[in-house]
Amino acid sequence: MVAASSDNPATLGGASSLILGIVALISLAFTNIVGIGMALLFGSLAVTFAIIGLRNQASRCKCVIGLTFGALPVLYFLFLIASFG
């Protein structure tokens, strides 16, 4: 008999926000190639999943790192809008 998985969407918030935050930073580094939209998309998703993970008491360390890494591209985009808009 197969054991049931203990993972559900609420517990995966930390890991997904960490991965999306790292991808957001990498795509921000290659903004000239992939554009700012990919960094903004991955950063926004990382921040969203980090907040969900923090509310559901998921692994806090991964959530905070994902929140930080995801917030950097979003804040960079807002800074560009404020500077040149």
Instruction: Please name the residue ranges forming H helices in the chain.
Output: 13-29, 31-34, 36-55, 60-84
Please indicate, yes or no, whether the overall pTM of this predicted structure exceeds 0.75: yes
The pLDDT value recorded for residue 1 is 58
Rounded to a whole number, what is the distance in angstroms from the first to the last CA of the chain? 60
Mean pLDDT of residues grouped by 10 in the chain (85 residues)? 63 85 93 89 93 84 92 92 87
The pLDDT value recorded for residue 59 is 81
